[in-house]
Amino acid sequence: MTPAQATCLSDALVIGYAILEQGGPAAIAVECTIGLLEQSGLFNAGEGANRQLDGVQRMDASIMEGAHLKAGAIASIEGILHPITAARLVMEATNHVLLAGPPATAFAQYYKLEPLSKGRALRRSAGRSPASMAVAQTMELYRAMVKSQRMEKDQHGTVGAVALDRAGTVAAGASTGGVDSMLPGRVGDSPLIGCGVYADNQSGAVSMTGIGEGIIRLVLAKTMCDRLATGASPTVAARQVLRLLVSRIKGSAGALVLSPDGRFAIRHVTPYMAAGWWNGIGSPKVRGQFS
């Protein structure tokens, strides 16, 4: 985790907590926390989202609140800085849960959501030759390699948040640009309710990060919430389910887990997971590893 990322995470926590302190809903706190991370360009979401193999950024996001089990999600959206806001609008302005592809982009544009900067949103030009595309892709790979040599390992990941508001409602959200070397159209766990996120006031809230294919196959967010519902603590629920992920399919993931009484856990089976928490006392706690 770079100093810039640590500062950004701390700022995001401050923004989210300020909303909760003023009596705002958990879902808005989650949205605004994730929104700052999306616009920073420091994480694999929004401005910093990965590109799929055809050179296009297609992003996924979801949000869920636990009082009424309302949820909204966006998959394969293009050119939008804040997919998490598009997901929240799906939850609040439609009777649907998930919009995907070009119609999802059109939906966000209808609500005049801020676009990605032009330099990041460039698509493949139909008039470019395969040879010129090969050169461009090679240069892009080179720039990425050079950049990666200046950065710590595994620091450029999916962003997510969980929150508990004064009304006792929990919420969870996630936003991502996917994984490296994605086929065009690949969708991971982040927009899939129950996989990348889940929130229920009767159990808790979970936001996942990691390799989405494994998270999907074990429906990890809902599985963790089910463990919470049976009385497991956030720490125990996260540890048990992440161990299951590793033992069954050798998966890789991390989790933010929050119970309705305010207990929480940050756990991962990856070498690193930049994350943090804050309850308004002292300064936000941000680290690159959690045991």
Residue 234 pLDDT exceeds 60: yes
Higher pLDDT: 202 or 280? It is: 202
Range of the domain at 222: 3-116+151-287
Cα–Cα distance for residue pair 233/227, rounded to 1 Å? 8
In a domain, 205, yes or no: yes
| Average pLDDT, integer, range 268-284 | 92
pLDDT greater than 60 at residue 285: yes
In the predicted model, what is the mean pLDDT of the chain?
A: 88
**Assigned domain for 109 exists:** yes
Query: Is 95 domain-assigned?
Result: yes
**What was the pLDDT predicted at 181?**
83
pLDDT surpasses 60 at 210: yes
Looking at the structure of the chain, the number of domains it has is 1
Which residues are known catalytic residues? Answer: 158
Q: Report residue 119's pLDDT band, with 50, 70 and 90 as the boundaries.
A: low
pLDDT greater than 60 at residue 122 = no
pLDDT for the residue 154: 41
Asked if the structure places residue 146 within a domain, the reply is no
What are residue 286's DSSP bridge partners? Answer: 276
* CATH number assigned to the domain comprising residue 21: 3.60.20.30
Looking at residue 195, what is its pLDDT? 98
Query: Is the pLDDT at 252 greater than 80, yes or no?
Result: yes
**125 in a domain, yes or no?**
no
71 in any annotated domain: yes
Summarize the confidence of residues 218-247 as an average pLDDT: 97
pLDDT tens figures, 195-209 = 999 999 999 999 999
Q: Which two tokens stand for residue 46?
A: 């929004």
**92-114 pLDDT per residue, tens:** 999 999 999 999 999 999 999 99
Angle at 83 between CA 139 and CA 166, to 5 degrees: 140
DSSP per-residue letters across the chain: --HHHHHHHHHHHHHHHHHHHTT--HHHHHHHHHHHHHHHSSSSSGGG----TTS---EEEEEEESSS--EEEEEEE-SBS-HHHHHHHHHHHSS-SEEEHHHHHHHHHHTTPPBPPHHHHPPPPTTS-HHHHHHHHHHHHHHHHHHHHTS-TT-S--EEEEEE-TTS-EEEEEEE---SSPPTT---STTSBTTTEEEETTTEEEEEEE-HHHHHHTTHHHHHHHHHHTT--HHHHHHHHHHHHHHHH---EEEEEE-TTS-EEEEESSS---EEE--SSSS-EEES---
Percentage above 90 pLDDT, the chain: 81
Position 189 in a domain? yes
- Cα Rg of the chain (Å, integer): 18
pLDDT confidence tier of residue 127, bands split at 50, 70 and 90: very low
Mean pLDDT of 139-157: 41
Q: What is the mean pLDDT of residues 77-100?
A: 98
Residue 223 falls within a domain, yes or no? Answer: yes
